[in-house]
């Protein structure tokens, strides 16, 4: 099961994911502000999501023109997990 903090962090990542080919890259600070929690709480939520295998954090260089040192959050594992669950959910909903 996922903690409420990790779930909220995940929702924040998803709200920053606008293009399928481009992973979200919000700052931990911006997530913390939106959740009204500390940056450390966001970091714990991100660590939980990583430990669950749902996301992969990728570091970027401060010189990168777009990401400027922000982490990029790869959601491939989350998407694959949801795709694997989709047939079961569809079946349960049709009953």
- Inform me whether the pLDDT recorded for 65 exceeds 80: no
User: What is this structure's pTM?
Assistant: 0.83
pLDDT of 2-59, one tens digit each? Answer: 999 999 999 999 999 988 888 899 999 999 999 999 999 999 999 999 999 999 999 8
Can you list the positions of beta strands (E) in the chain?
56-58, 72-74
Quote the domain boundaries for residue 22.
4-94
Q: CA-CA distance, 71 to 60, in Å (whole number)?
A: 6
DSSP codes of every residue in 36-55: TS-HHHHHHHHHHHHHTTS-
- State the pLDDT confidence band at 95, using cuts at 50, 70 and 90: confident
User: Is residue 24 a contact partner of residue 17, using CB atoms and an 8 Å limit?
Assistant: yes
50-70: average pLDDT? 87
Number of domains in the chain: 1
Provide the CATH number for the domain around residue 84.
1.10.10.10
pLDDT of residue 40: 99
DSSP helix/strand/coil, 1: coil
Q: What is the mean pLDDT of residues 61-87?
A: 87
pLDDT of the residue at 93: 84
Sign, CA torsion 37/12/79/94: positive
């Amino acid at each position: 099961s996922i903690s409420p903090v990790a779930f909220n962090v995940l929702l924040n990542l998803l709200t920053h994911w606008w293009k399928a080919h481009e992973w979200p890259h919000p700052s931990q600070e911006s997530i913390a502000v939106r959740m009204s929690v500390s940056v450390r709480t966001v970091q714990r939520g991100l660590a939980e999501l990583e430990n669950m295998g749902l996301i992969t954090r990728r570091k970027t260089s401060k010189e990168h023109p777009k990401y400027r040192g922000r982490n990029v959050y790869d959601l491939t594992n989350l998407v694959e997990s949801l795709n694997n669950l989709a047939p079961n959910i569809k079946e349960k909903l049709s009953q």
